[in-house]
Chains A and B, each alone.
Chain A
C-alpha cells in the first residue's frame, strides 16, 4: 500500500524556524495536508496544498511540495512554545477514499 514517512522528533529554540519533512510514495496524490495534534486532543487542520502547487504560504506557515521527489515540508517561522505538538502529514489520491497518514513528528520548542 501507499506509505507516508516522517522523522519522529524535532527540537528547536523559541524564535528559530522549524522545518518538518514528509515523504510519500503515492504518485497520484492530489491533496497533501498538515495536521497539528496537541497532547490529549484531536487533529487540527493547519494547511493543505494541491498537488499542482509548489508552495503555499499562510502567515507563519510555509508548505513546500517537490512532486518529483515526493517530498513535502512544513516550515514554521518564529517558532513559539505554543507550537510544541505532534505534526502529521497526510495525503489523498484523486479518487481515493481515505487519507494516508505519516506517523507524526513531535516538535519540541525550548525557551
Chain B
C-alpha cells in the first residue's frame, strides 16, 4: 500500500516549457488535490477533484490545468512555465471533500529558470 505517489521528485524547466506532474493514489479515495508550497506561506490549493470526472479551481489556479484521468490518477499541467511557478507541489487525496482527512504525497520540487 503505497498511499499517494508523485512523479517526478525534482524538475528543472526553462521559462516557457511545459510539463505534467503525475499523482496516483491506491486508497480508493474519491477526492484528490494539488497544492503548492512556498516558503513561509503554508500550502495553497491549486485545483481539486471531488470525484472522478470533476475538477474545480482552488485558491491559485492561474497558469495550471488538471486532468482526473480515472479514480486513481490526477495530473497537473503547466502549459508555459514561469519563474513564479518555482515551488514544491504536493498532491493529496481524501475519502471525500470537506472534513475528511487528506493524505499527502512526497512532493515535486520544481524550479523554473
Contact = CB atoms under 8 A, between A and B. Distances in A.
A33 B42 CA distance: 13
Nearest to B109: A40
Contacts of A1: 59
B-side interface mostly: loop
Nearest to B38: A103
A101 B43 contact: yes
A77 interface: no
Nearest to A99: B102
B103 A97 contact: no
Contacts of B44: 101
Interface stretch (B11-19, B62-70, B71-79, B93-101): B93-101
Interface stretch (A11-19, A60-68, A88-96): A88-96
Interface residues of A, number: 28
Contact of B98 (A33, A41, A92, A101): A92
A44 B41 CA distance: 18
Interface string A2-37: 001000100000000000000000000011010100
A8 B101 contact: no
A42 interface: yes
Interface of B: 4, 33, 40-45, 48, 50, 56, 58-59, 90, 92, 97-99, 101-107
